[in-house]
Structure 1
Amino acid sequence: MSRFIMAIDQGTTSSRTCIINQAGGLVAEARETFKQIFPKPGWVEHDPEDIWYSTQRSMRLALEKAKIKGSQIHAIGITNQRETVMLWDKKSGKAIHNAIVWQCRRTQDLCEKLKKNKKEKMITAKTGLVLDPYFSGTKIQWLLKNVPQAAAKAKSGETVAGTVDTFLLWKLTNGKSHKTDVSNASRTMLMNIHTGWWDEELLKLLQVPESILPEICPSNADFGVTQGLGFLPDGVPITGIVGDQQAALFGQACYDLGEAKCTFGTGSFLLLNTGKKAVKSKNKLLTTIAWKLKNQEMTYALEGGAFVCGAAVQWLRDGLGLFQASSDIEALAKTVEDTQGVEFVPALTGLGAPHWQPEARGVISGLTRGSTKAHIARATLEAMALQNVDILVTMQKDLGKKLKGVKVDGGAAANDLLMQLQADYCGVNVVRPKNLETTALGAAFMAGLGSGLWKDIKEIKKVWAIDKEFKVKMNSKDRKARMQRWETALKKV
């Protein structure tokens, strides 16, 4: 009987399940969107029950589409939206408040207070992160302080906490497993990336009791087995958990030092494999754990992320009504040769790396009577690429050498115009794989390694294949002029 891996990809706007075969091929995929909640300006929440319901439904639909039985699932891998965090009751499994999403800025004042108290240097040294509301630690503190009875229930052992991977694992195992992996834990601002465990000083600073946090495991550990799901038999092993961006790096087969990928999702994220060394960034990039395999040393990465990438296209579609489907933006942008001076800085939820300006807001400038929606569409695609140039240039400075190329993935990587712009503005070739869904693929690879479906990463490398390489066409003079116009636009946010 054929054996398959079920990869759960729980993202910011949808829950997705992919069925992957032993050759690394996508057999079936199902996606369920869920509601985004915006209680106040700058606040973003999800209903954990929506996350769980949409995940279950996507799992069922993927099995139906694949036309396979649950008994044919060899193992399950989970990848997720990392910094999003929640608290839930140990007995009922019900969340005591909505999840606070990674995009949420509600803890900005708390972060500023910590900066004034000169805690940022210590936090960065231990976690590799900048002190920003983006990460989970201050979100957990907010929940404990602001949700009625949350702190008391945490103290009495009635409540536990976790990122989305931990919550899903709890649900899949019927409350038997409260674990996470090193990649997700490294995004909480509570874990020391050099020791691989929760840090006592950080926990005390953010007033988070260690007792509510999950056990930290290698990314291909034995996390638990399914129980009580109905659509899957009991006992299916869950043997891979990895944060979404690290999963994409793994799914892109970037296993060697110096290999990099860029994922185009709700935000865009560049990760560079730095091997066994936690490279300290001098330019406000994040030093993060890429993964840890069982019985092996930690693998580290440098990361830079732009908070808004595909979300800018969604805003043009839903907020401004410029087109009906996100995929329409390429054809619209191609109807003009340039932006005619229109610049869009999509800082709709602040600016991420390497700027880290959470208070920044989006700006469209250079508009004239001759400006059309096509110019705005093209300016959006150009901005998506230009944001990544800022990160890539910084990454190369920290690494001390120029990258030869960047592998790309995510939905927007299918956009040929955007990929060519990315190559031209970065000045390095862009390589697109045949399978763009490398986040789910990375979770599948991790679970396959953990369950023995694949023997080692050498076997996985054999199934990764190139679709197209976008070579640099722009000369350095034009590139420099374009970057100067972008830098001028950035000053207006």
Structure 2
Amino acid sequence: MINNTSKLKSRLKEKKVMFGTVDTWLLWKLSGERVWATDRASASGTLMYDTFQNMWSSMILSLVGIPMHILPPIVDTSGQIGVVDESIFGTEIPITGLVGDQQASLFGHCCFKPGDMKLTLGTGSFLNVNIGSKPLASITGIYPLVAWDIKNSITFTAEASSITVGTCIDWLKSTGIIQDVSSTSDIAKSVPDTNGCYFVPAFAGLPVCALFTSLLPPKQNFLASFLSCLKYSNQKLFI
């Protein structure tokens, strides 16, 4: 956008451009366009934040051509951030928290100690592990994120994800193979194994939606392989 939108370029020169994450936009609107900020947890998910230096990364911003001045100030995850404009609900309401969705889930599951973890299943699955007060990098390439920053005490998380979980369920329903998702487990358990049928979810990887290694398998064996693939896709997050 910066390279291809002339109006944006001119506004950048005038320093009239403000960038932020979803929480930044919500805060800006709820506060009556008075507070522009984000927290470290949300900032660390943009890949423009240096988790090891705990600041916006001037090196990354320079590489991608994004000026530092368009990024919002960083505030604590919990604290007095602003107030909801009185015109919205008829009274001012304190805004006392900003945080990313998976970090909020980690906190909501009371994963307060290093080693505590949670697995959230939705459109995708997200495994988050509390790794304590130091941003430890994984040898498998998992990049540490900020979990939360409360009273200048930062807690970090390692996150792994599989983006085809709920997507698979939606696809399964769209094929008409099942009508009620809750019935899949009982149907799959009615057979001892998959009988050589394998389901490979590839909704965001291979140039096909999904791959079967068995032609016209019985419904029971197919569902057994389908549920197994979801289990293995989550199991690999631990490896």
Secondary structure in 1 aligned to 2:78?
coil
* 1:287 aligned residue: 144
CA contact (8 A) 1:346 1:361 kept: no
* 2:32 aligned residue: 174
* 2:210 aligned residue: 363
> How many angstroms apart in 1 are the aligned matches of 2:4 and 2:226?
38
Q: 1:324 to 1:212 in 2, by over 3 A?
A: farther
Alpha-carbon shift at residue 151 of structure 1 (Å)? 3.1
Alpha-carbon shift at residue 240 of structure 1 (Å)? 1.3
CA contact (8 A) 2:86 2:92 kept: no
CA contact (8 A) 2:202 2:211 kept: no
* 1:390 aligned residue: 236
* 2:200 aligned residue: 345
Counterpart among 31, 54, 59 of residue 196 in structure 1: 54
Secondary structure in 2 aligned to 1:258?
coil
Q: 1:322 to 1:147 in 2, by over 3 A?
A: farther
Alpha-carbon shift at residue 167 of structure 1 (Å)? 1.4
> Within 5 Å, which residues of 2 pair with 1:245-260?
245-260=102-117
- Give the TM-score taking structure 2 as reference length: 0.89
Secondary structure in 2 aligned to 1:380?
helix
Alpha-carbon shift at residue 159 of structure 1 (Å)? 2.9
> How many angstroms apart in 2 are the aligned matches of 1:221 and 1:257?
23
* 2:218 aligned residue: 372
2:88 is the alignment partner of 1:241: no
Alpha-carbon shift at residue 267 of structure 1 (Å)? 0.7
> How many angstroms apart in 1 are the aligned matches of 2:57 and 2:37?
16
2:146 is the alignment partner of 1:300: no
* 1:323 aligned residue: 178
Structure 1 gap segments, 5+ residues each: 1-142, 351-358, 394-493
Structure 2 gap segments, 5+ residues each: none
* Count of residues paired in the alignment: 239
CA contact (8 A) 1:313 1:329 kept: no
* 1:218 aligned residue: 76
Deviation string for 1:340-374 (max 9, x for gaps)? 22222223123xxxxxxxx67543222223x1344
> Within 5 Å, which residues of 2 pair with 1:405-420?
none
Q: 1:321 to 1:212 in 2, by over 3 A?
A: farther
Alpha-carbon shift at residue 147 of structure 1 (Å)? 4.5
Secondary structure in 2 aligned to 1:263?
strand
Alpha-carbon shift at residue 324 of structure 1 (Å)? 3.5
Alpha-carbon shift at residue 153 of structure 1 (Å)? 2.6
> How many angstroms apart in 1 are the aligned matches of 2:50 and 2:190?
50
2:227 is the alignment partner of 1:381: yes
Identical columns (%): 33
Deviation string for 1:167-222 (max 9, x for gaps)? 11122112111111111100111111122211111111111112221111111132
CA contact (8 A) 2:148 2:155 kept: yes
RMSD: 2.2
> How many angstroms apart in 2 are the aligned matches of 1:246 and 1:191?
16
Alpha-carbon shift at residue 331 of structure 1 (Å)? 4.2
Alpha-carbon shift at residue 376 of structure 1 (Å)? 3.4
Alpha-carbon shift at residue 326 of structure 1 (Å)? 4.1
